[in-house]
Amino acid sequence: MLDFRQFQTYVKEHIKDMMPDKYKNAEVSFIKTPKNNGNIRRGISIWLENANAAPHIYLEDYYKSYVNGQRLDEIMKDIADVAEGALSISKDDIENIAKNLKNLGYVQDYVVMSVVNAQKNEEMLREIPHIMKEDLAVIYKVLTGGNSIGMGTATISNHLMRKWGIDNQQLNELAMKNSKRLMPANVQPLVQILKDFMSEAGIPADDLQEEGGMHVITNDASSGGAAAIFYDESVLSGLSEKFGDNLYILPSSIDEVIAMPAGRADPKELAQMVQKINRNAVEEEKQLSDHVYHYDKDTHKLSLADTSLQELQMEEARPRHRR
């Protein structure tokens, strides 16, 4: 079996064999692109002289399919299909996308909100507008290819915001309004999600019991859904009213969080659970935070529960001594 580096090399050297003759002179090169939490995505870029685009095709997911048993020729065909589709985009389409992004009147209905870990994305945050929420940063994107954050987006930069002639507050107001409309929050009891999953798998779930009142909060696309707690106030206020209690919020990933009544658990124990899950079950690019949050039902304020922001900042600033 090929390791990932060998897999990359194989794709680079053989991808043109899977494509029509008009792509035989294309230039294929390795790429690596910074992503969320300082992660690097690796893949290939295909450049054809006089083409309108040079698609970037990331290979990590294709490699997982290969490791899980999918035939290599099938994977190569899938990659070739993606490359052909990207290379067929017309020059007018590309120019229109670039032109429309500069036009606030065109994109203002598609500005939405996302959330990332501030410390892990410190370098990126220097270049983009954001609002701090404890150890998290709310950032902004433009939907460019659908009605969810997972179907084509462009992250809004400080330069683009200045070009539009608006400030952070105006941008945040647009994102709050659009996110509710384009990515409505979805709240379900965790036990119901597990029952639905088990039912689809043909596994009896009648005896499955509710665990601590846990509810999963995401959006209709189940992508980028952790931001829902910031753009839809009714989500947390509704749950806290239902339970008659404050809430603890567990950051499962950038796609979802879990809320539960605060009176049923210890925040430090919950934080240890979150940290363990992050290390063992959540892709690093999807991780949001190692910490648990507290929602006050009376003040409607969200704050760190297992530590304080000041303690966290002191910990991050402390020099790391090598042994």
Indicate if the pLDDT at residue 192 is higher than 60.
yes
Determine whether 296 is exposed, middle or buried from the number of CB atoms within 10 Å of its CB (0-12, 13-18, 19+).
Answer: middle
As a whole number of angstroms, the distance between CA 188 and CA 207 comes to: 18
Residue 316 CB partners (closer than 8 Å, separation 6+): 119
- Asked if 220 and 227 count as a contact pair (C-beta separation under 8 A), the reply is no
The predicted pLDDT at position 137 comes to: 96
The predicted pLDDT at position 150 comes to: 38
- Asked if 128 and 155 count as a contact pair (C-beta separation under 8 A), the reply is yes
The predicted pLDDT at position 263 comes to: 87
Average pLDDT over residues 13-41: 88
As a whole number of angstroms, the distance between CA 132 and CA 117 comes to: 10
Instruction: Quote the percentage of the chain above a pLDDT of 70.
Output: 85
- The DSSP letter of residue 59 is -
Higher pLDDT, 243 or 54: 243
- The DSSP letter of residue 28 is E
The predicted pLDDT at position 237 comes to: 96
Indicate if the pLDDT at residue 194 is higher than 60.
no
Indicate if the pLDDT at residue 273 is higher than 50.
yes
257 alpha-carbon distance from chain centroid: 12
Instruction: Quote the percentage of the chain above a pLDDT of 90.
Output: 60
Residue 275 CB partners (closer than 8 Å, separation 6+): 290
Least confident of 154-168, 225-239, 287-301, 308-322: 308-322
Q: How confident is the model at residue 116 (pLDDT cuts 50, 70, 90)?
A: very high
Q: How confident is the model at residue 113 (pLDDT cuts 50, 70, 90)?
A: very high
Indicate if the pLDDT at residue 168 is higher than 50.
yes
- The DSSP letter of residue 157 is P
The predicted pLDDT at position 264 comes to: 83
As a whole number of angstroms, the distance between CA 262 and CA 292 comes to: 11
- Asked if 251 and 274 count as a contact pair (C-beta separation under 8 A), the reply is yes
The predicted pLDDT at position 265 comes to: 86
Whole-number mean pLDDT of the chain?
Answer: 86
Residue 23 CB partners (closer than 8 Å, separation 6+): 16, 46, 48, 83, 84, 87
SS3 307: coil
Least confident of 46-60, 101-115, 212-226, 249-263: 46-60
- Asked if 240 and 297 count as a contact pair (C-beta separation under 8 A), the reply is yes
Which region holds residue 20: left if phi is over 0, alpha if psi is between -120 and 50, else beta? beta
Indicate if the pLDDT at residue 95 is higher than 70.
no
